[in-house]
Structure 1
Amino acid sequence: MEFLEAAWLGKPLWMWAGFLTIVLALLVFDLGVLNRRDREMGIAESLRLSAFYIGFAMLFGAGIWWAHDAGLLTTSDGTHAGVAFFTGFFIEKALSIDNVFVISLIFGYFAIPRAYQYRALVWGIVGVIVLRGVMIAAGAALVQEYAWLLYVFGAFLIGTGIKMLVVPEGEQDISRNPLVRFLRRHMRVTDELHGQKFIIRQPDPVTGKIAAFATPLLLALVVINIADLVFAVDSVPAIFAITTDTFIVYTANIMAILGLRALYFALAAMVHRFHYLKYALALVLVFIGGKIFWNQIMGKVDPAISLGVTLALIAGGVLWSLWKTRKDTVAVG
């Protein structure tokens, strides 16, 4: 068992294995117990399941906080592990809310019924666990080798935040997406769904031979995972601006994404009520990006201040959005 003590990306292998075991157990419980049958998830159930995931993430973060204070867990950059986790978690969670609209468009374009959407989202987490892991590991290696990349991250975050403040959102046409066109041209795709199946075998209309065909559900899953990588271009640099500890960056990302899949159905019905959250997120990105330069020029900002400012901006954006759209009602079921 000595190999479990071997370090990988700054932490013993048993820590990585333990976290991935927790994630796997949650997915098995979700798909195998709570959602064995394909059915439409109502808003109330979506909120309850999301509360469970958020509560679990809070317990996990509390465990990291306790382990840091007890001297059992230290970060590679000297930041407080608990504060860094919660700051990264809330940033990722808030940024993910803006992604719900795109996911909803993807499901709409491929005509995926709500009864199949949750299973596709949960299976998508498996892809996210791998893709985010690769992206974060690569980012950590680059930052460790080239510390000046943090300035690039900071400038990128500030630029993205300013763009979100001044550039209006445009309509997105999934049918014109290059990835969708590429998949349609290079894969055999059925015109209709086949239940929850991602791939089926049926006669090829050209050759008459039995061949594998992707269903629209698989295409939707692929496009959602690619879209998640695009979203990660914003969120991953934002968390690296909080801490460069790979374990904290990865766990905060995955914990936030796990809950987003459960929250999707409630957010998809109420996303129009979070219009002003976009501006709060823009200010968060500008603040986090600016903090990188401040840390290097003036001295390190107290991580508790970063967490407090992040929470205040996000909470302000949510509350202001709900207040401005208080006359819009959504039936809970």
Structure 2
Amino acid sequence: MMTIGTPLMWLLFAAFVLVALLIDFYALSRRGAQRVSMREAAIWSLIWVAVSFVFVGWLWWYLGGTTGDPSAEATAQVKAFEFVTGYLVEKALAVDNIFVFLLVFTYFGVPGEYQRRVLMIGILGALVLRAIMILIGALLIARFHWVLYVFGAFLVYTGIKMWRAVGEEPDLESSTALKWIRRHIAVAPGFDGEKFFTRVDGVRMATPLFVVIILIGIIDVVFAVDSIPAIFAITTDPFIVLTSNVFAILGLRAMYFLLAGMHERFHLLSYGLAIVLILIGGKMLLVDIYKIPVLWSLVATAIVLAVSMVLSLYIPAPAHVTNAYPFSRRTPREKGETER
């Protein structure tokens, strides 16, 4: 499969990701179990977005965007548009991912000061999982062209399903994964700091935080299944696919603390995401009939997401949407119920 990624570019990108994770881990270990303020979350969110656009600016320059060579400039422009479009789609999907994380944290009553560590582990898992699935997806597309149609049909189906599911109350209690965990793992009735395992009356048990880690991992898998076909609908270049995914994920932890509790404010975003998935799925299904320019995809994605967020600010959330994400209410664990 054709890619702009040279060994040097892959090496530099891997080094950057490693440094970024080390900085995040170092900041996490220094602060320990502390809540993240809105101010800190906003600053880090802006930093990650700025870094992402610095990267695409460097990519445009590196590919010859300023050389005066029409061929090089065209390539640089297309790849820059592909990155930004993929980044926007993955970032928007990550927002939806964040609200599911918040649902899990609320259900288990995870204190804010313990959520940082869980999110960091979840991000590491997401990075590894995305890299593996992108490699598999790239190999499949390179060998079997018809896989593009499978991805396209899946995205259209996912978009329709997402549209219909808006406002439905997520039911963790009936989750197959949670039921399996309860049957096979002894779970302590309460937290023990940031520990994943503890002893209760001499018996070694998993803490609720360990259960949360498992569920976050499962959520990562589910969202990766949605997001990987979405990015391949925009570009099949493995370097652009992976970099846009990784940059969208790197800011996930800060964005979580920034957006926590704001789902009702952006209640129409899920509709916007559904439309975007249907559009890019349709783009993939038409790939051999008419190749829609990347710029059109970028403009359509940006407009749909922006309109859905702006309208969310002016149109009150219906009661059924508000009740579907009751983050402000106390959870059963906080009320002292111990059935889990």
Give the TM-score normalised by structure 1. 0.84
Cα 1:153–1:52 change in 2 (3 A) is same
**Residue of structure 2 in register with 1:23 after alignment:** 17
- Please list every run of 5 or more consecutive structure 1 residues that lacks an aligned counterpart in the other structure: 1-6, 206-210, 329-333
The 1:292/1:78 distance shift into structure 2, 3 A limit, reads farther
Equivalent in 193, 196, 199 of residue 198 of structure 1: 196
- Displacement of 1:200 in angstroms is 4.6
Shift, 1:55, TM fit: 1.0
SS in structure 1 opposite 2:262? helix
Determine the C-alpha separation between the residues in 1 that align with 2:125 and 2:9.
21
Distance 2:250 2:110 in 1: 21
Quote the Cα distance in structure 1 between the aligned partners of 2:166 and 2:87: 27
Structure 1 residues 63 and 78, CA gap change in structure 2 (3 angstroms): closer
Which residue of 290, 294, 304 maps to 2:286? 294
The answer on whether the counterparts of 1:160 and 1:282 sit within 8 Å (CA) in structure 2 is yes
CA contact (8 A) 1:79 1:243 kept: no
Distance in 2 (alpha carbons) for counterparts of 1:325 and 1:69: 47
Relative to structure 1, the CA distance from residue 86 to residue 236 in structure 2 (aligned partners, 3 Å threshold; closer, same or farther) is: same
- Which of 296, 300, 304 matches 2:295? 304
SS in structure 2 of the partner of residue 269 of structure 1? coil
8 Å Cα contact 2:130-2:242 kept in structure 1: yes
In 2, Cα distance between equivalents of 1:230 and 1:239? 15
Q: How far 1:24 moved relative to its partner?
A: 2.3
Question: 2-side partners of 1:193 and 1:226: how far apart?
Answer: 21
What corresponds to 1:84 in structure 2?
82
Any runs of at least 4 consecutive aligned residues in structure 1 with deviations exceeding 6 A, and if so which?
7-10
1:331 alignment partner in structure 2: none
Q: Which amino acid aligns with 1:85?
A: F
Distance 1:157 1:96 in 2: 16
The one-letter code sitting in structure 2 at the alignment partner of 1:220 is V
CA distance in structure 1 between the aligned counterparts of 2:192 and 2:2, rounded to whole angstroms = 42
Shift of 1:237: 0.6
Question: What's 1:65 paired with?
Answer: 60
Aligned to 1:271, which of 263, 269, 276? 263
1:230-269 aligned within 5 A: 230-269=222-261
- Equivalents in 2 of 1:66, 1:201: separation in Å? 57
User: 1:52 aligned to 43, 47, 53, which one?
Assistant: 47
Match of 1:144 in 2: 142
**Farther-moved stretch of structure 1 (94-103 vs 25-34):** 25-34
Question: Does the 8 Å CA contact 1:61/1:86 hold for their aligned counterparts?
Answer: yes
Look up the match of 2:308. 317
Among 136, 153, 156, the residue aligned to 2:154? 156
For residue 34 of structure 2, what is the aligned residue in structure 1? 39
Which of 72, 93, 100 does residue 95 from structure 1 map onto? 93
Deviations for 1:110-132, whole angstroms, at most 9, x for unmatched residues?
Answer: 22100110221012111111111
The answer as to whether partners of 1:100 and 1:271 remain within 8 angstroms in 2 is: no
Q: Aligned residues: percent identity? A: 42
Give, in whole Å, the separation in 2 of the partners of 1:260 and 1:80.
Answer: 26
Alignment of 1:89-238 (within 5 A): 89-200=87-198, 205=203, 213-238=205-230
Contact 2:60 2:76 in 1 (8 A): no
Distance in 1 between residues matched to 2:231 and 2:316, nearest whole Å: 30
Deviation at 1:262, TM superposition (A): 0.7
Instruction: Tell me: CA distance 1:55–1:193, structure 2 relative to 1, closer, same or farther (3 Å).
Output: same
The match for 1:208 is none
Instruction: Give the counterpart letter for 1:185 in structure 2.
Output: R
Aligned CA distance change for structure 1 residues 217 and 14 (closer, same or farther; 3 Å): farther
After superposing the two structures, state which structure 1 stretch, 88-97 or 161-170, moved more: 161-170
Deviations 1:132-174 (A, max 9, x none): 1111111111111111111111112122222333444321222
Q: Structure 1: how far apart are the matches of 2:190 and 2:201? A: 15
Give CA deviations for 1:13-71 in whole Å, capped at 9, x if unaligned. Answer: 44334323222222221231366222112223222211111111111122222222359
Partner amino acid, structure 1, of 2:109: A
Question: 2:313 & 2:56 partners in 1: Cα distance?
Answer: 27
Which deviations, in whole Å up to 9, do the C-alpha atoms of 1:159-207 show, x marking residues without a partner?
Answer: 22223334443212223211122223333433322212234578753xx
Partner amino acid, structure 1, of 2:38: I
Letter in 1 for 2:229: P
Q: CA RMSD in A?
A: 2.7
Measured in 2, the distance between the counterparts of 1:120 and 1:149 equals 35
Please list every run of 5 or more consecutive structure 2 residues that lacks an aligned counterpart in the other structure. 323-340
Contact 1:50 1:259 in 2 (8 A): yes
What is the TM-score of this pair, normalised by structure 2?
0.82
